[in-house]
Amino acid sequence: MHDIVIIGGGPTGLSAALYALRAGKSVLILENNSMGGQIATSPRVENYPGIPVVSGLELTDSLLSQVMSSGGKVDLAETTGITDGTDKKTVHTTSGDYDAKSVIIATGAKHRKLGIDREEALTGKGVSYCAVCDGAFFTGRPVAVSGGGNAALQDAILLANTSPTVYLIHRRNTFRAEAVTVERIRKIPNITLITDSKITALMGNDALEGIVVENLVDGTTRELQVNGLFVAVGFEPKNDIFSNVARLDDKGWFASGEDCRTFTPGIFVAGDCRAKGVRQLVTAVGDGATAAVSACQYIDCLPN
């Protein structure tokens, strides 16, 4: 029996673990992929308070070390559901069941796909969702990035260091990224901005050889010869397996307020998996702290 089981090993889950451990609770973190979450793949984090520049991997590695040195436990397992019992919560995973007095769900979100023909078939063969992971494979070759937020622009900047031509394709004529990042990208000569446009087709049989881009204003199309396409069009939730213990909104995000509570006492949701207006590293760790404090208060009020 653990005091708190935390589902998700990103900044939210790790921050929750740290706060719970410092409150004297036993904590188990369940992660089905790799510790650190999405931010671990970011080569450059410049907006985390108190740290001018750091890589996402360095930041999450430091946070994980802090959690482990405080007594936290980690198990790599895929969570398949939660059962709310009368005297405990049971987290079901592919590696077995784990009992806890309280559970914090911090599962983040998964990459949203373009939804075009052959996207799945060419994933790993030119189509990628992680420039940090796969960018080096396309050194010296032209690539494209789809998206208009901070992640997309950071991907384009990273790829411009190794690719002769980087096309940045966005559906709108303005970017959602921070103004300083937009200004920076406009000054990089080998990045070509293609706005008011979307990718409608992928070319190539065994590997990506090019993309078809449609202009959403005049309907014209053109082909771009690229060997790599990096998709950075946001994220979508993966919360359906928890709908028996937490309410979801019409888009599948957890419909919980700033207190991170669900309709099930003792179960909390935190971070990017929650319906919210801002999804940033600082809001993720803030959610983790809030959920942990609430979980500790819940446990402290349980009958002995």
Which of 75, 84, 134, 196 is labelled catalytic? 134
Angstrom distances, CA of residue 182 to CA of 14, 19, 198, 212, 270: 31, 36, 19, 24, 29
Burial class (CB in 10 A: 0-12, 13-18, 19+), 7: buried
Could you give the angle at the alpha carbon of 188 between the alpha carbons of 183 and 194, nearest 5°?
Answer: 80
| Beta pairing partners, 230 | 128, 145
**Which amino acid, one-letter code, is at 236?**
E
Which of 97, 117, 133, 259 is labelled catalytic? 133
Has 301 been annotated as catalytic? no
Strands 143-146 and 191-194: unpaired
Give the C-alpha separation, 276 to 54, whole Å: 25
Category of 204 on φ-ψ map: left (φ > 0), alpha (ψ -120 to 50) or beta: left
Give the 3-state secondary structure of residue 115. Answer: coil
Has 273 been annotated as catalytic? no
Which of 61, 75, 84, 130 is labelled catalytic? 130
Instruction: Confirm if 191 and 181 have CB atoms less than 8 A apart.
Output: no
Has 260 been annotated as catalytic? no
Give the C-alpha separation, 109 to 123, whole Å: 19
Tally Cβ neighbours within 10 Å of residue 284.
Answer: 27
Question: Would you name the residues annotated as active-site residues?
Answer: 130, 133-134
